[in-house]
Amino acid sequence: MNRGALRAFVVKELRHILRDRQTLTILLLMPLVQVILFGFALRSDVRNVRVAFVDPAPDYATVALEARFRETTRFVVVSSGRTMSVVEPLFRRGDADVAVVFEPGFAEHLRGAEPARVLLVVDASDPNTGTVMQNYARAVIASYEQELPAPKGALRIATQTRMRFNPTLESVNLFVPGLIALVLTLVSALMTAISLSREKERGTMEVLLVSPLRPVQIIVGKVLPYLALAFANVVTALLAAWLVFHVPFRGSVLLLLAESIVYALVSLALGVLIAARTTSQRAAMLGAMLGTMLPSTLLSGMIFPIASMPGWLQPVTNVIPARWFIIIARGIMLKGVGLPNLWRETLILCAMAVVLMAASVRSFKPRLAS
Amino acid sequence: MRTLRFLLRKEFLQIFRDRLMVLQMIIMPLFQLLLLASAATFEVKSAKMYVVDRDHSSASRGLISRLQAGGRFVLAGASSSMSVADEEMLGRRAAVIVSIPADFERDLVRTHMAQVQLVMNAEDGATAGVTQSYAAQIIASYAREIGVSIAPAVREGPSIEVRSRGLYNAELNYRDYMVPGILVQLVTVVGTLLTAMNIVREKELGTLDQLSVTPLGTGVFIAAKLIPLWLIALLELSLGLLVARFVFHIPMRGNLLIVFGAAGLYLIAALGIGLFVSTLASTQQQAMFVTFFIVMIYLLMSGMFTPVRSMPVWAQWMAQLNPLKHFIEIMRAVLLKGAGVTDVLRPLAAISAFGAVVLTLAVRQYGRRIA
Amino acid sequence: MTTELAIDAHDLTRTFGSFTAVDHITFDVRAGEVFGFLGANGAGKTTAIKMLVGLLAPSGGQAMVAGFDVRTQRDQIKRAIGYMSQRFSLYGDLTVRENIQLYGGIYGLADAVIAERTTQLLETLGLADRAKDLVRTLPLGWKQKLALSVALLHEPKIVFLDEPTGGVDPVTRRQFWELIYAAAARGTTVFVTTHYMDEAEYCDRISIMVDGKMAALGTPAELKAQYGVSSVDEVFVRLARGAKAVA
């Protein structure tokens, strides 16, 4: 008896969603555009480092060293002069990243007993980039030093590095798990909250209440289409990432989809809770932003590593569902691990889902009744 | 103009009577600022290091303790098996594996040359590159130190001593770098989003039609919509700067007037985008989604998270068209580097040009509603 | 006898893609009369009124409102007319007084004039003690009366009312029509659309639109005689029977 009513309700919801072409287009486009941007444009490694030379007394050694920098693809020479005065404005304007300052008599010192000195001035506004750029510069200088005739018997320890799970440091590989979480949160939490609160505001919710549908069914009926939509979105993004950028998918797809469902349920429950507790559509929008979108993007480890966060903030991130999902998604996609490794995080997500869903159903009933 | 006065009064009354709007304009951005400024860092504090030492010599042990000495690397465990180390890395208990081969010390003594393998967990992002840099630096200086004891018969020969100095960020504090960008982002979201939603709300309610029937000029209407939010966004920027200064101690080395001047110009562009969005959307929900979409793209391509310089050439060209990128650049230059007006002329010009174009397009698009 | 025409429309047409909402309607409205623009929901009334007030551009035909062309002289039209839309479109989050003052300012009335007319208006409507209340707290009937009065505030030559009495109780409807008559008595032309056929009896002349076309035009008495019925309602039913089924 009620199943027919529920189905009609779900169909109606789907029609609503499909009719709002604009929102639908944006929802489908957003993850695609992000994948494309991350795949083609955004890089976290450091390239095109602009280097300026300050050489008060050029000699064969400084010229040779300068040539070394020019030869590399990492560095782009932007200026070569005698004094620092040229360089300072370059830094301020953001036209130079590193300055290599030679001391006078460089070649002479190389031939003699004292070490030849060079100063690296690095724009450390971005400390990470600053460190990396400094390292690149040192490496160039070191390789030049290596090839000097009769080098000092200094020891060299060469380091061979392997980047595990992401050999090329492709940022798209790193971002796709976060993208999935973002899309799921957006559709499951934000859109559900808006849709439910809109019905409340318009008064159509009361009509539903008088119908043979039970409150639980109303919620399920509302929520099911958004779940389907979230899924369609996730699959699209994953396909795009895989086909176009060959983002690795080393683990089980089924497991990832299953975990995504759990995470979606958590977000949906949050969306329902927010709609139940707010009195207008705009308030629901605001609440969903503050309560789901912001924490999911900022505190989940999606963009900013949790290990880098201040000590007091790190435990706080434990209540953010997205944090656990990101670990799971990254584990499955990048490392190819399965439940044996991820059981702890999965359990936490499932527990969150159960608790929040119960809370949302309970909070919606008295609201609807009032 | 007299009509403008009447409309401005209406706008301000409406804005301040709307409690949600006030929340959105003041509380949410401040909350976001506090949260973001605390969380937004890619700083690498200490990395958990797992050691696979097959040499067990004084040289290898010395290297391991040297790595730990600075506090950047913390020993998470050691064994002679690479597969155990790998398991630890899979289980997220180790971020770096340092593998020292069996003939490490012997090679050093005999050939003055040895190898060490580093395996980084590149799951977590750009931090892998930085951690590697730190490790490489420590290993290199270790090599120099033990060179004296292992190869004491040092022949005279050329050597280069490299010193380095980091500018603008003595403490290598990530927050100083991120907060200017965060402020820009907040002001943008508020400016663009609220403008779009504000106008679309009048569309939704039908009050827009009522106004269209009056002799009210389009220009006056748009001015009345943009001016209050322009002022409020600037106010917000000031509040944000106060918080940045006194809560996070962000340096403010340059002239703040430049910041406000740039902000004023930038906001014209940001609000213009909001105006443009309002012509596309018919519900507030749509306005919100479209705005987020556009702002998200601009934000990602702005150099806030990843350096513009590392982007492919076509993307760098696109970034030139991105007002966020220019404004963030100005903010960072003025606050961190103490830049003056002449140093930021280029981005200022870019912002102004963009603002002029967007506003013109938006006004024109707005006038086309009727047909 | 040539009387001045407030509205003069010839073959006015509006299409949306393949759908013709308003199909070559021709009619005129004389200055000072109360003209009822009737038709079922979806017959094209609101589209027609939007073309007359300058909210929509016509796809074909022409129209003169207050002597100005709707295509080329929109600004002049706007200064000469008042409009009350179907949906309540004053600002719910402003007070009664603030709404009146806002529109007074928009229509360029001097401060003194605004003050004077505000007091008058508040008195006439009996809203003097609610002047400082937010408009959204007023009951629907009062809101409608306020909207009408604001539309008349700058003493326009023509006032367009789109379904002004929708959802309002009969007592309020009567009060509303009293306001309309008062305006007409002052020389304002009133162009009112409605789907309440009994209100048609209050008008000087009426027109009935069916499926975008003008199906009838004349005084209520003329039309009743023409169709041999005793009420405009029945005239409408006769005409509507021939109409296409509305989807």
Given pLDDT bands bounded at 50, 70 and 90, which one contains residue C247?
A: very low
The pLDDT-based confidence of C3 (bands split at 50, 70, 90) is low
User: For B333, which of A44, A92, A115 is closest by C-beta distance?
Assistant: A92
Instruction: Give the residue, B239 or B309, on which the prediction is more confident.
Output: B239
| B371 has pLDDT over 60 | no
Residue B36's region, left for phi above 0, alpha for psi from -120 to 50, else beta, is alpha
Q: Count Cβ–Cβ pairs < 8 Å, chain A vs chain B.
A: 349
Judged by CB atoms closer than 8 Å, whether chains meet at A298 and B39 is answered as yes
Q: Testing the interface with B: which of A21, A109, A128, A201 to mutate, by most B Cβ within 10 A?
A: A128
Express each pLDDT in B76-118 by its tens digit. Answer: 999 888 899 988 888 888 889 999 999 898 888 888 788 899 9
The pLDDT value given to residue B227: 95
Task: Determine the residue of chain A that is closest to B90 in CA distance.
Answer: A335
Tens digits of per-residue pLDDT, C164-197?
A: 888 888 888 888 899 999 999 999 999 999 878 8
pLDDT band at B130 (very low <50, low <70, confident <90, very high): confident
For residue C114, the chain B residues in CB contact (below 8 A) are none
In this prediction the pTM is 0.85
C212 neighbors C61 (Cβ within 8 angstroms): no
Neighbours of chain C (3+ CB pairs under 8 A): B
Partner residue opposite B160 with nearest CB, options A115, A135, A155: A115
Residue B155, pLDDT score: 54
Strand blocks (E) in C31-84: 34-39, 60-65, 68-69, 81-84
**Residue of A182 and A222 predicted with greater confidence:** A182
Residues of B in contact with A159 (CB under 8 A): 115-118, 135-136, 139
| Residue C81 clears pLDDT 50, i.e. is over it | yes
Q: Does C17 touch chain B (CB under 8 A)?
A: no
% chain B with pLDDT above 90: 37
> Which chains neighbour B (Cβ–Cβ under 8 Å, 3 or more pairs)?
A, C
Q: Do chains A and C touch (3 or more CB pairs under 8 A)?
A: no
* Residue B250, C-beta contacts closer than 8 angstroms, at least 6 positions apart: B175, B176, B179, B180, B244, B335
Interval B145-165 mean pLDDT: 69
Q: How far is A178 from chain B (nearest CA, A)?
A: 11
- Contact list in A for residue B335 (CB cut-off 8 A) is none
Starting at the earlier edge strand, list the strands of the sheet with B160-167.
A75-81, A49-54, A98-102, A116-123, B160-167
- A152/B157 Cβ within 8 A: yes
Contacts of C214 (CB under 8 A, 6+ apart): C25, C26, C27, C207, C208
Chain B residues whose beta carbon lies within 8 Å of the beta carbon of residue A163: 120, 122, 128
| Contact list, A171 vs chain B (CB under 8 Å) | 125, 306
CA distances from B205 to B212, C87, C89 (A): 13, 8, 7
Flag whether residue C124 sits within 8 Å of chain B, measured between CB atoms: no
Q: In what order do the strands lie in the sheet with B47-53?
A: A156-164, B113-121, B96-100, B47-53, B73-79
Reported for B75-79, long-range contacts at CB under 8 A and 24+ positions apart, including other chains, are B75/B49, B75/B51, B76/B48, B76/B49, B76/B50, B77/B50, B77/B51, B78/B50, B78/B51, B78/B52, B78/B53, B79/B52
Confirm or reject contact between C197 and chain B (CB < 8 A).
no
Put the strands of the sheet holding C68-69 in their side by side order.
C19-30, C5-16, C60-65, C68-69
For residues A164 and B88, is the Cβ–Cβ distance under 8 A? no
Cα separation of A272 and A281, whole Å? 13
DSSP string, A314-362: HHHGGG-HHHHHHHHHHIIIII---HHHHHHHHHHHHHHHHHHHHHHHH
Kindly indicate the confidence band of residue C4, based on its pLDDT and cuts at 50, 70 and 90.
confident
Residue B157 has pLDDT above 60, yes or no: no
Nearest CA to CA, how far is C83 from chain B (Å)?
7
The pLDDT value recorded for residue C244 is 53
Q: Is the pLDDT of residue A43 over 80?
A: no
The full length of chain C comes to 247
Pick from A94, A161, A166: CB nearest B329: A94
Please check whether residue B38 touches A, CB under 8 A. Answer: yes
Tell me the nearest-neighbour CA distance from C137 into chain B, angstroms.
Answer: 14
| Lookup: tokens for A91 | 């830094």
The reply to whether residue B123 touches residue A118, judged by beta carbons under 8 angstroms, is no
Tell me whether B154 touches chain A (CB under 8 Å). Answer: yes
Chain B residue with CA closest to A312: the answer is B38
Note whether C53 contacts B: Cβ–Cβ < 8 A.
yes
Query: For B119, which of A40, A46, A164 is closest by C-beta distance?
Result: A164
Q: What is the pLDDT of residue B156?
A: 52
For a pLDDT cut of 70, what percent of chain A falls above it?
94
- Most A CBs within 10 A among B306, B328, B342, B345, hence the mutation to make, goes to B306
Q: What would the pLDDT profile of B12-22 be if each residue is shown by its tens digit?
A: 999 999 888 88
pLDDT at residue B39 above 60? yes
Q: Quick one: pLDDT at residue C246?
A: 43
Confidence of residue C11 (pLDDT cuts 50, 70, 90): very high
Tell me the pLDDT tens digit for each residue of B226-266: 999 999 999 999 999 999 999 999 999 999 999 999 999 99
At A349 the pLDDT is 93
| Residue numbers of B between 275 and 314 with CB closer than 8 Å to A | 280-286, 288-290, 293, 296-297, 300-301, 305-307, 309-312
**DSSP H/E element including A161:** strand A156-164
Distance from CA of C78 to the nearest CA of B (A): 5
Amino acid identity for residue C143 in this structure? K
**Treating both helix axes as pointing N-terminal to C-terminal, what angle do B218-246 and B345-367 enclose, rounded to 10 degrees?**
140
By CB neighbour count within 10 A (0-12 exposed, 13-18 middle, 19+ buried), where does C186 fall?
exposed
Q: If pLDDT is split at 50, 70 and 90, which confidence band does C240 have? A: confident
pLDDT of residue C200: 86
Give the mean pLDDT of A257-280.
Answer: 89
Distance of CA A260 to the CA centre of its chain: 17
| Res A150 pLDDT > 60 | no
Q: CB within 8 A of C235, min separation 6: which ones?
A: C208, C216, C223, C224, C226, C227, C229
Q: What is the ipTM of this complex?
A: 0.85
C-chain residues within 8 Å CB-CB of B6?
101-102, 105-106
Shortest CA distance from C84: residue in chain B: B210
Q: Which of C16, C87, C106 to mutate to test the interface with B (most CBs of B within 10 A)?
A: C106
pLDDT at C26 over 90: yes
Using CB atoms, list chains with 3+ pairs below 8 Å to chain A.
B
User: Which residues in chain B have Cβ-Cβ distances shorter than 8 Å to C15?
Assistant: none
Number of H helices and E strands in chain C, helices first, is 9, 10
> What is the secondary structure of A116-138 as a DSSP string?
EEEEEEEE-SSHHHHHHHHHHHH
B317 touching chain A per CB within 8 A? no
Distance of alpha carbon B197 from alpha carbon C130, whole angstroms: 30
A157: left (phi over 0), alpha (psi -120 to 50) or beta: beta
- CB nearest C105 (choices: B2, B209, B370): B2
Q: Write out pLDDT tens, residues C42-57.
A: 778 889 999 999 888 8
Residue of C nearest to B220 (CA): C106
Closest residue, chain B, to A297 (C-alpha): B36
| Residues from chain A contacting residue B282 (CB–CB below 8 Å) | 22
Q: Which residues of B touch C55 (CB under 8 A)?
A: 209, 212-213, 370
Q: How far apart are CA A4 and CA A2, in angstroms?
A: 5
Angle at B191 between CA B185 and CA B195, to 5 degrees: 145
Restricting to B residues 53-92, those with a Cβ less than 8 Å away from any Cβ of A are: 63, 89-92
Lowest mean pLDDT of A154-163, A299-308, B115-124, B256-265, name the range.
A154-163
